[in-house]
Amino acid sequence: MTTIWHAIFGYFYLVLTVRVLKRRPGAQMTPFEFVLIFLIGGVIILCTMGDDRSETNSVCAVVTIALMHRLVSYLKTRFPKFGLIVDGTPVALVERGVWHKDLMRRLGLDETDVMAAARVKSVKTLDGIKYAILERNGAISIIKNDS
């Protein structure tokens, strides 16, 4: 029973922590983000499992986390406001070739991050970007300048 409570607490605690990190890890993974993922994961697993390393305990913990994930996914679909809280909102970083510097600063992003996403779309220079949008999943979408 303790493991289940720990898993529930750990899940929501991690969702909140990852959500308030400046740059959402997962989409543009640098070694800097890898440190976070491994360290946070390692710390939370110790508290969740405690001294009980039995298979029963690990199955219960995994199933609890899976159920929490299903619940949060359902709530996100059912209540769009809840989805906003969990996933955030897309933010335009570049609009019609104009940088939103204040938004980028607050999101912990710089031009290098946008350019990295632009290169994936075969955009060679910054002036080739018409729109750059930070998506809910942490990826940056690029819309090319047609001219």
Residues that bind another protein (CB under 8 A): 16, 20, 50-51, 84-85, 88-92, 95-96, 103, 106, 131, 133, 143
Taking the complex as a whole, how short is the minimal distance between the CB of residue 89 and another protein, in angstroms?
Answer: 4
Looking at the Cβ atoms of 21 and 59, the one nearer to another protein is 21
Cβ within 8 Å of residue 118, ≥6 positions away: 126, 128, 129, 132, 142
Taking the complex as a whole, how short is the minimal distance between the CB of residue 1 and another protein, in angstroms?
Answer: 12
**What DSSP string runs through 49-118?**
HTT---HHHHHHHHHHHHHHHHHHHHHHHH-HHHHHHHH---EEEEETTEE-HHHHHHHT--HHHHHHHH
Looking at the Cβ atoms of 65 and 86, the one nearer to another protein is 86
Taking the complex as a whole, how short is the minimal distance between the CB of residue 83 and another protein, in angstroms?
Answer: 11
Looking at the Cβ atoms of 99 and 131, the one nearer to another protein is 131
Looking at the Cβ atoms of 22 and 66, the one nearer to another protein is 22
